[in-house]
């Protein structure tokens, strides 16, 4: 082959190439159209699809409309009304700004736009078919904009072949639609496929909208997340620990109103759940992070599904603390988190099927001697309880008063709502664990100097991170120095973790510090150890407790953070309300 001459590509071909990224499939075209409607201030948006969106995709909105003179520009490449300068780009608050969606769609489909601005005598229509733009002509439409896309990829058969079945493409469209509907609960949305209504959302609050899209059980049990700093704000709902899921599908993070997948925030959220989550379960959440647009780059990819934060470690810490605070619920708090429902949630049933976590093999450890930790915590609580009983009557405790112990495993108690059943081992395990953590948190992680320093080979990045993060490493109990451009020398290690592989541990710490600006690897390892200790230290099944001891345990549960679930994320108690019991006995029917 001879070397070809360099030449500019024709505009249609350029748009078709761009379409490969912006309009990968019907769902991505739909996302672009919905974002345009929201940018135009629509309060109500109706979507109508045929054959998975490939045959037809129509979006009708009541937004501001497009000026008739601007119609040809709307379908021109790199033409946008949303930004004009580089500064605008750096602080773009609209969902769109690249000005290429409509041009790309018009290059690979039959596109028609009908729009009417307030004050115009009638609407105008423009069409763009395989890049050929028509002259605007008068049309009929009450207000807003209707965009119709037909026969996606009719002129690019190679791309068309990559489309999946109608059901799959519709599924993707439904997903894109749901994410956007979730991000704007105040806007009405409807979706129809092949003439059949599939969703209809009136304007409502965020919890109602989440109930429709993520699930009633999620919305009813989720804790509210709300935090604000000088430059960051987060709000939304996060699943209570007992309501986790087997996959990551119900994780919705919106950054400045845009659905994104972000490693930094996802990691921070996961960390916040570390203590209350079984390792193969995933939290569900709908979170809205707001940040000064100048501090986040959304222009990483044409589809804008990823963002880059200017200060990712600040974002990581902010999100982690906001979530931790929301999850630190005590029983009886007004936050909805710790109110297990009746009957048992689908979640608990799943746990039962999958078997319990190995650490929780309490049957084999039956009747172990209670450890010192248990004795001291317990003794203190018993005296506390006596003291409380002697003082003036207060509001009735959330978990009520113990009635009896059932088969050495459960405590039965009566509270205002009805019957409370507590798994005494699971509950006590959490109490011991939180106690151990608090005791250790009060002091810095103690450091233990090594008799013989460990030299480890490291990458230049690791050597650099170790230098920059020296102070933080010291607070974690590490003393590390560079031994050369590719060598680190470990002179002291966190003493609690002295038996673990120091080089491996340091490597994970440095990796996290580089990626997220902070590392919780050590705290996590330490917590894993404490959790094992707590499991052994907690009161065993088959140990009989006296009524005062049981009451002491209930009072301790009320006073302990996260007491609604054990260290492995299993619930520690259930409420059986009087109506639930009445229903069982068909009373009052
Ligand atoms: N539904 C709509 N309502 C009002 N104006 C719209 C609508 N859709 C598109 N436009 C106009 O067309 C322009 C081009 O749209 P698009 O190609 O998606 O680029 P961008 O959204 O990046 O500006 C927008 O800047 C906007 O002015
Ligand atoms: Mg757009």
Give the pairing type, strands 232-238 and 285-291: antiparallel
Q: Which of 225-229, 378-382, 422-426, 500-504 has the lowest mean pLDDT?
A: 378-382
As a whole number, mean pLDDT of residues 404-409 equals 92
pLDDT over threshold 60, residue 346: no
Cα 179 from Cα 234, distance rounded (Å): 17
pLDDT on residue 394: 57
As a whole number, mean pLDDT of residues 249-262 equals 93
pLDDT on residue 445: 65
575 beta partners: 420
- If you measure from the C-alpha of residue 74 to the centroid of ligand 1, how many angstroms do you get, rounded to a whole number? 6
Of 29, 34, 39, 93, the residue with max ligand 1 atoms within 8 A of its CB, to mutate for a pocket test, comes to: 39
Query: Which residue's alpha carbon is nearest to atom 26 within ligand 1?
Result: 81
Range from 48-62, 367-381, 414-428 that averages highest in pLDDT: 48-62
The DSSP H or E segment spanning 382 is helix 372-390
pLDDT on residue 238: 95
DSSP state of 281: -
**Dihedral, 325, 326, 330, 335 alpha carbons, nearest 10:** 150
As a whole number, mean pLDDT of residues 563-581 equals 86
Q: Which residue has the higher pLDDT, 384 or 96?
A: 96
The answer to whether 298 touches 280, Cβ cutoff 8 Å, is no
Cα 180 from Cα 240, distance rounded (Å): 24
Q: How many CA atoms lie within 13 A of 520 on its CB side?
A: 18
**Does any ligand 1 atom lie closer than 6 A to the CB of residue 94?**
no
- Give 211-220 pLDDT, tens digit per residue: 999 999 899 8
As a whole number, mean pLDDT of residues 268-286 equals 86
Query: Which residue's alpha carbon is nearest to atom 18 within ligand 1?
Result: 101
Query: Which residue's alpha carbon is nearest to atom 8 within ligand 1?
Result: 36
Cα 428 from Cα 433, distance rounded (Å): 8
Of 497, 492, 495, 500, the residue nearest 470 (C-alpha): 492
DSSP state of 256: T
Q: Which residue has the higher pLDDT, 294 or 533?
A: 294
Of 230, 206, 191, 347, the residue nearest 280 (C-alpha): 347
pLDDT on residue 493: 86
Ligand nearest to the CA of 100: 1
**Strands annotated E in 239-347:** 251-255, 258-259, 285-291, 296-297, 308-309
Token couple for 191: 């979706």
Q: How far is CA 453 from CA 361, 404, 450, 479, in A?
A: 38, 57, 6, 10
- At residue 339 the predicted structure's pLDDT band, cuts being 50, 70 and 90, is very low
Q: What helix, strand, coil percent values describe the chain, rounded to 5?
A: 40, 25, 35
pLDDT on residue 379: 42
Of 409, 397, 359, the residue nearest 540 (C-alpha): 409
- At residue 315 the predicted structure's pLDDT band, cuts being 50, 70 and 90, is very high
pLDDT on residue 380: 41
- At residue 80 the predicted structure's pLDDT band, cuts being 50, 70 and 90, is confident
Of 65, 73, 89, 102, the residue with max ligand 1 atoms within 8 A of its CB, to mutate for a pocket test, comes to: 102
pLDDT over 90 percentage in the chain = 45
Cα 342 from Cα 310, distance rounded (Å): 46
Q: How far is CA 556 from CA 230, 563, 576, in A?
A: 36, 9, 21
Cα 11 from Cα 9, distance rounded (Å): 6
Q: How many CA atoms lie within 13 A of 413 on its CB side?
A: 30
pLDDT on residue 503: 86
Please report where in the chains the tokens 């609690």 appear, as a residue: 496
DSSP state of 293: G
**Does any ligand 1 atom lie closer than 6 A to the CB of residue 27?**
no
pLDDT over 70 percentage in the chain = 87
DSSP state of 245: B
278 φ, ψ to 5°?
-70, 145
**Does any ligand 1 atom lie closer than 6 A to the CB of residue 99?**
yes
Ligand 1 atom at minimal distance to the Cα of residue 35:
21
pLDDT on residue 97: 84
Ligand 1 atom at minimal distance to the Cα of residue 99:
19
- If you measure from the C-alpha of residue 337 to the centroid of ligand 2, how many angstroms do you get, rounded to a whole number? 38
Cα 482 from Cα 505, distance rounded (Å): 17
114 beta partners: 125, 146
The answer to whether 428 touches 454, Cβ cutoff 8 Å, is no
Q: Which residue has the higher pLDDT, 328 or 556?
A: 556
Query: Which residue's alpha carbon is nearest to atom 25 within ligand 1?
Result: 80
The answer to whether 432 touches 537, Cβ cutoff 8 Å, is yes
Mean pLDDT of the chain: 83
Query: Which residue's alpha carbon is nearest to atom 24 within ligand 1?
Result: 80
Bond into 140 cis (ω within 30):
no
Ligand 1 atom at minimal distance to the Cα of residue 102:
17
Query: Which residue's alpha carbon is nearest to atom 1 within ligand 1?
Result: 37
CA 367 to chain centroid: 40
- Give 101-154 pLDDT, tens digit per residue: 999 999 999 999 999 999 999 999 999 998 899 999 999 999 999 999 999 999
pLDDT over threshold 90, residue 72: yes
Q: Which residue has the higher pLDDT, 269 or 586?
A: 269
Q: Which residues fall inside 5 Å of ion ligand 2, going by CB?
A: 36, 96, 101
- If you measure from the C-alpha of residue 316 to the centroid of ligand 2, how many angstroms do you get, rounded to a whole number? 29
pLDDT on residue 561: 85
Query: Which residue's alpha carbon is nearest to atom 19 within ligand 1?
Result: 99
pLDDT on residue 522: 75
pLDDT on residue 47: 98
- At residue 386 the predicted structure's pLDDT band, cuts being 50, 70 and 90, is very low
pLDDT over threshold 80, residue 583: yes
pLDDT on residue 106: 93
Query: Which residue's alpha carbon is nearest to atom 9 within ligand 1?
Result: 36
* Strand arrangement of the beta sheet that strand 487-494 belongs to: 447-457, 487-494, 479-484
- At residue 357 the predicted structure's pLDDT band, cuts being 50, 70 and 90, is very low
Ligand 1 atom at minimal distance to the Cα of residue 144:
3
pLDDT over threshold 50, residue 356: no
Q: How many CA atoms lie within 13 A of 86 on its CB side?
A: 0
**Does any ligand 1 atom lie closer than 6 A to the CB of residue 466?**
no
Of 33, 36, 98, 145, the residue with max ligand 1 atoms within 8 A of its CB, to mutate for a pocket test, comes to: 36
Of 29, 73, 80, the residue with max ligand 1 atoms within 8 A of its CB, to mutate for a pocket test, comes to: 80
482 beta partners: 488
The DSSP H or E segment spanning 412 is strand 410-415
- Give 25-59 pLDDT, tens digit per residue: 999 999 999 999 999 999 999 999 999 999 999 99
**Does any ligand 1 atom lie closer than 6 A to the CB of residue 36?**
yes
Q: How far is CA 452 from CA 75, 487, 502, in A?
A: 70, 16, 13
- If you measure from the C-alpha of residue 14 to the centroid of ligand 1, how many angstroms do you get, rounded to a whole number? 19
Ligand nearest to the CA of 92: 1
- If you measure from the C-alpha of residue 98 to the centroid of ligand 2, how many angstroms do you get, rounded to a whole number? 7
**Does any ligand 1 atom lie closer than 6 A to the CB of residue 71?**
no
Of 319, 400, 341, 352, the residue nearest 222 (C-alpha): 341
pLDDT on residue 443: 65
Q: Which residue has the higher pLDDT, 484 or 386?
A: 484
Count CB neighbours of 142 within 10 A.
7
**Dihedral, 563, 569, 573, 578 alpha carbons, nearest 10:** 120
pLDDT on residue 514: 78
- Give 142-188 pLDDT, tens digit per residue: 999 999 999 999 998 888 888 999 999 999 999 999 999 999 999 99
Count CB neighbours of 102 within 10 A.
27
């Amino acid at each position: 082959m001879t070397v070809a001459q360099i030449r500019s590509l024709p505009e249609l071909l350029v748009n078709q190439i761009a379409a490969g990224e912006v309009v990968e499939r019907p769902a991505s075209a739909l996302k672009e159209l919905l974002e345009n409607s929201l940018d135009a201030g629509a309060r109500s948006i109706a979507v109508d699809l045929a054959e998975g969106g490939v045959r037809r995709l129509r979006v009708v909105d009541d937004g501001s409309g497009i000026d008739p003179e601007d119609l040809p520009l709307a379908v021109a490449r790199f033409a946008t009304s949303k930004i004009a300068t580089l500064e605008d780009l750096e602080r773009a608050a609209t969902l769109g700004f690249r000005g290429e969606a409509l041009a790309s769609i018009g290059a690979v489909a039959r596109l028609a736009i009908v729009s009417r601005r307030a004050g115009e005598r009638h609407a105008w229509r423009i069409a763009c078919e395989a890049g050929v733009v028509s002259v605007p002509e008068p049309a009929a439409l009450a207000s807003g904009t209707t965009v119709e896309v037909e026969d996606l990829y009719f002129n690019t058969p190679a791309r068309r072949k990559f489309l999946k079945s109608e059901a799959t493409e519709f599924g993707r469209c439904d997903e894109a639609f749901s994410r956007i509907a979730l991000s704007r609960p105040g806007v009405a949305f409807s979706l129809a496929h092949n003439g059949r209504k599939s969703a209809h959302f009136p304007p409502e609050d965020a919890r109602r909208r989440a109930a429709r899209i993520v699930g009633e059980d999620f919305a009813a049990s989720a804790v509210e997340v709300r935090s604000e700093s000088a430059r960051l704000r987060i709000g939304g709902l996060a699943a209570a620990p007992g309501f986790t899921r087997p996959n990551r599908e119900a994780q919705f993070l919106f950054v400045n109103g845009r659905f994104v997948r972000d490693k930094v925030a996802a990691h921070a959220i996961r960390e916040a759940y570390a203590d209350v989550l079984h390792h193969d379960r995933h939290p569900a959440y709908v979170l809205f992070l707001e940040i000064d647009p100048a501090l986040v780059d959304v222009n990483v990819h044409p589809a804008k599904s990823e963002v880059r934060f200017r200060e990712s470690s600040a974002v990581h810490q902010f999100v982690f603390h906001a979530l931790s605070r929301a999850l630190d619920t005590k029983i009886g708090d007004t936050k909805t988190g710790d109110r297990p429902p009746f009957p048992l949630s689908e979640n608990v049933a799943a746990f039962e099927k999958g078997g319990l976590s190995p650490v929780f093999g309490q049957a084999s450890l039956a009747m172990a001697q209670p450890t010192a930790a248990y004795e001291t915590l317990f003794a203190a609580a018993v005296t506390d309880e006596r003291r409380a009983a002697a003082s003036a009557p207060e509001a009735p405790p959330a978990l009520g008063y113990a009635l009896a112990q059932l088969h050495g495993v459960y405590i039965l108690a009566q509270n205002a709502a009805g019957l409370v059943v507590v798994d005494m081992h699971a509950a006590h395990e959490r109490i011991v664990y939180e106690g151990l953590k608090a005791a250790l948190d009060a002091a810095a992680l103690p450091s233990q100097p090594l008799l013989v320093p460990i030299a480890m080979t490291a990458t230049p990045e690791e050597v650099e991170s170790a230098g920059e993060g020296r102070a933080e490493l010291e607070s974690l109990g590490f003393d590390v120095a560079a031994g050369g451009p590719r060598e680190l020398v470990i002179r002291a290690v966190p003493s609690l973790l002295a038996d673990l592989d120091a080089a491996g541990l340091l490597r994970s710490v440095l990796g996290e510090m580089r990626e997220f600006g902070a590392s919780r690897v050590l705290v996590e390892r330490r917590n894993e150890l404490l959790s094992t200790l707590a499991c052994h230290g907690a009161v065993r099944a088959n140990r009989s407790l006296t009524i005062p001891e049981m009451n002491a345990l209930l009072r301790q549960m009320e006073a302990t953070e996260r007491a609604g679930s054990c260290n492995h994320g299993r619930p520690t108690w259930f409420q059986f309300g009087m109506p639930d019991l009445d229903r069982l006995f068909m009373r009052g029917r």
